Chains A and B, each alone.
Chain A
């Protein structure tokens, strides 16, 4: 603006000089006329001259203003287009001189400016293209989601990793494409929901995430990292990357393979032990010595006990590696209790222990995995038998508790557990030092029971008093409540793991 003012000032000065000179010539002429007495010099004459000079001045000021207004308008237009300027858009309509010319010029300038800005944007995009190229070819799987969890970018590596093409993934919902299961309830979708509600940005990683097998594509085990940014102007809300550890984690699985193999080897002689005990019993027939029959029963019970223990080992290995998968189905709890206890009766009988069952009538159906829950009941009864001491009674009671959960208790009247170790009781390999010398076992049973009950969504706890016995309680969720909580169709079964529901985008997976 200063330069323009200078130009205007100079122009004005030049014009003023010309006009002044012109005025001086007139004045000289006047002076000459007066000296020749052609004009009379008096007071009115001076006023007329002064008026004339002022009029000149104002007139030429106005003329220069109007003459330079188009230039000023063009300058203002250019200045206005500068993004950082505070200059307002010029008012072209008020132009009296060169209106259409100025209007055309300003339009052209504006158009040029827009084109330039676009070009600049394009220019700026070049690094984006570069980044895009890097991301596309990055040998680490990379995925970008928008605010609705649709995939807006996936690199080649990611597509390859999940066995699909990039074009099959783009614009699809993330959860529809990637079916992940997590070792705990702390899953990606829980984190994302929480982040959306409470955070502007968030960063998190998960280990031992599994991707489901798709069309014979091999299983994948990996660590996952995700970054959430709510205020991202490009709607690139969540960025996900994966670090493959399939080999390492599968090796851990193979450790389970070793356990499974050992279990197989142990089971073969156990099958034979039970088979021969039964065969001998049959061969001896009804005339056999009762003592011998009794011994054979004890042999069978021992073999059966060892079979349970072997199953426990395998299940603990599975829990530790998140491979215990339960299928919860609606079951009549009283039937399960009766069936499970009948399997334990012989074991109790050889210790001359009576198991009393009290089942509250009309219990709702519970959501349980039959085989696993059987293991819980048999572990708890087995414990009760082991720790009964000289007492000859075990009570198993089941009822609907105040929270609407099906609660079951197994009570013995034996040795009891000292208070200071109660809290460690459900820890792996933990056993009561006080009783360890007298009672066999590995301490796996309660650890396993807790894991199974947790996977059912229930709780397990214990109350005990030394020399008075212990009561183990556990709760199960009625199937209707379970399905309501998970918004699940009640006709379907529900799959869970020892560490919680198998989750991804929702609370469960069928």
Chain B
């Protein structure tokens, strides 16, 4: 499988949701890891070990938008390679949402999809790599 050994970092403050995502993605052959804390998540993401990052926006200590900005800024995170999919349940204001969508590789409302639908989305982002 193409997705074998692909590493996914799931940044998700709702542990139960994260757990469901880890389960489905690992079943698909990905190696996924769950982080709840924003600051810790940024440190991990900056190690550049991951191929795909699922990023929630509402996080403890450091919010998702800040993490996104830091990761996508080459002077702050040089050589950053991972694709970022925003997974959130917040309805951002249209202009903020547009700005986020510009930086990210995907944007999805968690309540609108099941874990298996998330896997399909991750697969398509992965294939686009």
Q: Is B76 an interface residue (CB 8 A)?
A: no
Instruction: Tell me the B75-129 residues at the A interface (CB within 8 Å).
Output: 89-91, 93-95, 109-116
Task: Tell me which residues across on chain B come within 8 A of A264, comparing CB atoms.
Answer: 58, 89-91
Task: Tell me which residues across on chain B come within 8 A of A307, comparing CB atoms.
Answer: 111-112
Q: Is A366 an interface residue (CB 8 A)?
A: no
Q: Measured between alpha carbons, how far is A210 from B91 in the docked complex, in Å?
A: 21
Q: Is A271 an interface residue (CB 8 A)?
A: yes
Summarize B's interface: helix, strand, loop or mixed: helix
Closest Cβ of chain B to A265, distance in Å, is 8
Q: Measured between alpha carbons, how far is A267 from B14 in the docked complex, in Å?
A: 12
Task: Tell me which residues across on chain A come within 8 A of B58, comparing CB atoms.
Answer: 264
Interface size on A, residues (CB 8 A): 22
Q: Quick check: A268 and B91 within 8 Å, CB to CB?
A: no
Q: Quick check: A268 and B20 within 8 Å, CB to CB?
A: no
Q: Quick check: B109 and A276 within 8 Å, CB to CB?
A: no
Closest Cβ of chain A to B69, distance in Å, is 15
Q: Is A274 an interface residue (CB 8 A)?
A: yes
Q: Quick check: A260 and B91 within 8 Å, CB to CB?
A: yes
Q: Quick check: B111 and A278 within 8 Å, CB to CB?
A: no
Q: Quick check: A323 and B94 within 8 Å, CB to CB?
A: yes
Partner of B89, one of A271, A278, A282: A271
Q: Quick check: A274 and B90 within 8 Å, CB to CB?
A: no
Q: Quick check: A260 and B90 within 8 Å, CB to CB?
A: yes
Task: Tell me which residues across on chain B come within 8 A of A310, comparing CB atoms.
Answer: 111
Q: Quick check: B91 and A279 within 8 Å, CB to CB?
A: no
Q: Quick check: B17 and A268 within 8 Å, CB to CB?
A: yes
Q: Is B16 an interface residue (CB 8 A)?
A: yes
Q: Is B44 an interface residue (CB 8 A)?
A: no
Partner of A267, one of B93, B109, B114: B109
Q: Measured between alpha carbons, how far is A263 from B23 in the docked complex, in Å?
A: 26
Highest count of chain A CB atoms <10 Å: which of B14, B58, B110, B114: B114
Instruction: Tell me the A231-268 residues at the B interface (CB within 8 Å).
Output: 260, 263-264, 267-268
Q: Measured between alpha carbons, how far is A325 from B111 in the docked complex, in Å?
A: 21
Q: Quick check: B115 and A267 within 8 Å, CB to CB?
A: no
Q: Is A441 an interface residue (CB 8 A)?
A: no
Partner of B17, one of A263, A275, A277, A300: A275
Q: Measured between alpha carbons, how far is A264 from B109 in the docked complex, in Å?
A: 10
Q: Quick check: A314 and B91 within 8 Å, CB to CB?
A: yes
Q: Quick check: B17 and A272 within 8 Å, CB to CB?
A: yes
Residues of A within 8 A of B (CB): 213, 260, 263-264, 267-268, 270-272, 274-279, 282, 300, 307, 310, 314, 323, 325
24 A-B contacts (beta carbon < 8 Å)? A213-B95, A260-B91, A264-B58, A264-B91, A267-B89, A267-B110, A268-B17, A268-B110, A271-B14, A271-B89, A271-B110, A271-B111, A272-B16, A272-B17, A274-B114, A275-B16, A275-B17, A275-B20, A278-B116, A279-B23, A282-B116, A300-B114, A307-B112, A310-B111
Closest 6 CB pairs of A and B: A267-B89, A267-B111, A275-B20, A271-B110, A278-B114, A270-B111
